[in-house]
């Protein structure tokens, strides 16, 4: 019988875990202990507070702090867990009202991730930021008012969304990406190139294959020294402010302190019930390591969708239920500089790393039939395991209708659809909407024929 | 060994059959005999020639007539098949160059459907039209220049698309629908109401539950006499021109003349290979009757997507191949008066007719997270077989992102996904695109809980 649950962290995973635990069990005592001063907010929405597509910081708060009481959940903010004793199942914490202890039957780690700062000189200067927390976004919104030159180190999803936001605010934006292309954790180079072209056309400077070596200046940045990794050319990019968005790593110190097992991706290892190796201890969201859906290899999602789904499972199970998480497909989308970018499952690169030999169907298609005014070109790539023909991934890039299309591929992956199965997909059709053979289907046709299925 | 193929009809089904037969077999002689003077064109695009979203009638031609020769396909237009002798496998025809005969090993019926005119007086007048053929559309484009009052009898997909087109051209448009709601072959009343509200707000007069009794006037219409089926009130609606769009029926006379079996929906009965009861004789598209995907009950698609897919299967098999058609899900979409309307699988009404007891999950959701500017409300309904929890249908109505979302439901139906399976769907998420729990998923959640799955 679970009488007390403690959830550490109040992001998407932690807040969902607490709410679902309450939904499952009306009587359990539930406490949330959260280091940040804020109740659950949308981390993914942060870049849009800069561009104004999110009007106010407060709009991002998904669960007003005062609402926890109505669920009979004791939520402590600005409160840090200082020690956990799992043998006595107690947690010590320190908050605005001093220190205290609480005991638990079930403990849920939803401690999230933090920026993994790369080895670049001068990151300790003022006006050098991450873009991960509400406070980061508040500071950056002020920079949008005063800075002229913004250098963003890292051309991943967050870096690119920040680039768009500051570009829209009129700043000179330079993105410095170490790898040969942006967004490589999301799409393959052929797709990234389409995005890069758009980004450059909008007047953002994009330096790929380029290492940021140092943030130069006294207290605050004057420039960022970068080095082209091919040519060796060194350049100093003027910078009033710098954003570092080179990836994150799970926050696991507390979990490690009580002997919770950490997996090869550095996340807290959990099973399908989001249970760790310790009895009564769960983890979910960015701090947790589950498995990639297709290969069942250790995998960390780092995605809001995954966080809420894992949070739900952890919360129900922590409260005595029996929910299961099916594995991470990893559907990712965004819209940048007028282009929708969507990806799901294995990229070609990820497939290589996981030693899955794949074949791909890559087509260009129109979002509407050619006779109907205003259709846009999209590029669709679907990826299949060569030995079985099974759909394992897909990417779509185009000015519209890319993101919603990726959902079909995700469900296809989850349902073990193969190339003939996707070819048999009866897509909807109407002149104002899309053509009779959706590019998704034609991409499958090429592979079906090639694999003689 | 198939040496000669004749395809009767050159719509989406017939043209696709001929092309796929050629793709499968480079040597077979292939002939198309088509009654209309036009080579394959998009029938679904016809309403948009009136509004101008399709610029020219010629833009609708998907296969220019001169291109058939390059595929070594002998395509005869304005040519009518007058007699078929299946014992000698010969076809007699009459065309611009007189009459002739041709012989076949395989015969493909792709004769389509024609308007099924309802018992209304005065439909033989001038300026009373269907909207099914290129010539209909050409005549109607002229009406858009001269008529002021347009009455459309039938509030199905074609009727409503015509209503929008003439409304956009500035005519006074009245739609007269016999049933209590428009679009009932596509959506259930709860969804139809959302559309009706939009249509009326745009200033189109919509008379539901109303019988059109007679087109009044001398040679041409002056008015349409209608009677409210509830109140019995009779009214004469001023009309300069009338469109009758009350549904179609398969064209099967030629097939019947050689003993091809007709099914209960009045279409040519075919198996999964699109083969009729006669050896070497196939049918596809609007003239054919296959099965509804979920119940395997006799079903006619009446859809372009189904026509091309069946055409492909018929063409390959007519040429000696072995392709299969998986059954008709019936995904349908359109955009009308600023609303996207999407439907797939069984509606609640169709489920009743097919004696499938269903439960539904019906939710309203936003197309973007609430904190991000500009999200629109959409209504999502997913429908499940009660005994198994299996997904059997879905409907989505809203100002955007309805159509592409329906594709997920269609694939789900085709893959036998149940409510827990759809609840586990990892939808894509980004503030600019959609929220963490897509309305599709929350609609499944309600049912999953209700069915205790």
Residue A215 has pLDDT above 90, yes or no: yes
Residue B329 lies in a domain: no
Do A107 and A130 belong to one domain? Answer: no
Range of the domain at B425: 339-450
Do B441 and B351 belong to one domain? Answer: yes
Residue B213 lies in a domain: yes
pLDDT in tens, B108-142: 999 999 999 899 999 999 999 999 999 999 999 99
Rounded to 5 degrees, what angle do the CA atoms A382, A384, A386 make?
A: 145
Mutate to test the interface with B, among A402, A429, A438 (most CBs of B within 10 A): A429
Residue A329 lies in a domain: no
Distance, CA of B320 to CA of A61 (rounded, Å): 63
Among the partner residues B55, B309, B404, nearest to A405 by beta-carbon distance: B404
Do A343 and A275 belong to one domain? Answer: no
pLDDT for B117: 82
What's the CATH code of the domain at A358?
A: 3.50.50.60
Q: How far is CA A329 from CA A184, A297, B333, B428, in A?
A: 16, 11, 28, 10
- Tell whether A113 is within 8 A of chain B (Cβ): no
Greatest alpha-carbon pair distance for chain A in Å reads: 71
Residue B325 lies in a domain: no
Window 339-358 of B, Cβ < 8 Å to A:
340, 342, 344
Residue A117 has pLDDT above 90, yes or no: no
Residue B104 has pLDDT above 90, yes or no: yes
Query: Is B287 tagged catalytic?
Result: no
pLDDT in tens, A352-396: 999 999 999 999 999 999 999 999 999 999 999 999 999 999 999
Neighbours of A201 (CB within 10 A): 10
Do B64 and B158 belong to one domain? Answer: no
Average pLDDT over residues B318-324: 97
pLDDT for A231: 97
Do B235 and B264 belong to one domain? Answer: no
Residue A16 lies in a domain: yes
Among the partner residues A308, A340, A436, nearest to B304 by beta-carbon distance: A436
Q: What is the dihedral of CA A95, A97, A100, A104, to 10 degrees?
A: -70
pLDDT in tens, A118-143: 999 999 999 999 999 999 999 999 99
Residue B1 has pLDDT above 90, yes or no: no
Do A133 and A231 belong to one domain? Answer: yes
Contact between B369 and A305 using a beta-carbon 8 Å cutoff: no
Tokens 């007891």 found at: B357
pLDDT in tens, B353-373: 999 999 999 999 999 999 999
Residue B323 lies in a domain: no
Do A236 and A140 belong to one domain? Answer: yes
Among the partner residues B59, B305, B326, nearest to A427 by beta-carbon distance: B305
> Contacts of residue B308 in chain A, CB cutoff 8 Å?
436-437
Do A231 and A252 belong to one domain? Answer: no
Residue A195 lies in a domain: yes
Do B230 and B256 belong to one domain? Answer: no
Average pLDDT over residues B212-216: 98
Token pair of A112 as six digits: 């999230």
Q: How many domains does chain A have?
A: 3
Cβ proximity of B391 and B453 under 8 Å: no
Pairing of strands A106-109, A281-283: parallel
Mutate to test the interface with A, among B404, B420, B445, B453 (most CBs of A within 10 A): B404
Residue A148: phi and psi, rounded to 5, are: -110, -40
pLDDT in tens, B375-421: 999 999 999 999 999 999 999 999 999 989 999 999 999 999 999 99
Do B137 and B283 belong to one domain? Answer: no
Residue B17 has pLDDT above 90, yes or no: yes
Residue B381 lies in a domain: yes
pLDDT for B151: 98
Do B103 and B28 belong to one domain? Answer: yes
Catalytic residues of A: 44
Contact between A411 and B417 using a beta-carbon 8 Å cutoff: yes
CA distance A91 to chain B (A): 31
Count of CB contacts below 8 A, A vs B? 201
Do A279 and A215 belong to one domain? Answer: no
């Amino acid at each position: 019988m679970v009488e007390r649950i403690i959830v550490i962290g109040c992001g998407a995973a932690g807040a969902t875990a607490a709410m679902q635990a309450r939904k499952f069990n009306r009587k359990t005592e539930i406490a949330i202990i959260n280091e940040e001063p804020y109740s659950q907010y949308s981390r993914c929405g942060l870049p849009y507070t800069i561009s104004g597509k999110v009007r106010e910081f407060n709009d991002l708060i998904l669960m007003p702090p005062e609402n926890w009481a109505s669920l009979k959940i004791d939520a402590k903010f600005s409160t840090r867990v200082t020690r956990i004793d799992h043998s006595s199942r107690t947690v010590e914490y320190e908050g605005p009202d001093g220190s205290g202890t609480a005991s638990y039957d079930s403990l849920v780690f939803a401690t999230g991730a933090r920026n993994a700062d790369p080895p670049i000189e001068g990151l300790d200067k003022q006006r050098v930021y991450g873009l991960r927390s509400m406070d980061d976004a508040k500071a950056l919104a002020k920079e949008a008012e005063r800075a002229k030159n913004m250098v963003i180190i890292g051309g991943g999803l967050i870096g690119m969304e920040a680039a768009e936001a500051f570009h829209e605010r009129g700043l000179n934006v330079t993105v410095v990406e170490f790898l040969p292309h942006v967004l490589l954790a999301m799409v393959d180079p052929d797709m990234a190139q389409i995005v890069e072209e758009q980004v450059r056309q909008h007047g953002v400077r994009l330096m790929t294959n380029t290492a940021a070596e140092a943030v130069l200046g006294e207290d605050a940045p004057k420039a960022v020294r970068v080095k082209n990794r091919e040519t060796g050319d060194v350049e100093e990019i003027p910078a009033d402010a710098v954003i570092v968005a080179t990836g994150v790593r799970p926050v696991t110190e507390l979990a490690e302190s009580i002997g919770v097992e950490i997996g090869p991706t550095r996340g807290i290892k959990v099973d399908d019930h989001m249970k760790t190796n310790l009895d009564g201890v769960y983890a979910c969201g960015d701090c947790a390591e589950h498995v990639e859906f297709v290969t069942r290899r250790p995998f960390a999602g780092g995605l809001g969708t995954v966080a809420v789904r894992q949070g739900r499972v952890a919360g129900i199970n922590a409260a005595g239920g029996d929910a299961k998480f099916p594995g991470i497909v990893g559907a990712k989308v965004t819209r940048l500089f007028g282009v929708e970018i969507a990806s799901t499952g294995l990229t070609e690169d990820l497939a290589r790393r996981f030693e899955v030999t794949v074949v791909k169907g890559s087509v260009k298609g129109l979002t509407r039939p050619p006779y109907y005014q205003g259709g846009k070109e999209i590029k669709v790539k679907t990826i299949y395991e060569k030995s079985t023909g099974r759909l394992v991934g897909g990417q779509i890039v185009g000015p519209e209708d890319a993101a919603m299309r990726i959902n079909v591929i995700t469900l296809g992956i989850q349902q073990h659809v193969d190339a003939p199965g996707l070819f048999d997909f009866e897509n909807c059709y109407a002149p104002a909407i899309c053509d009779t053979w959706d590019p998704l289907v034609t991409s499958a046709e090429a592979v079906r024929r090639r694999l003689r299925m």
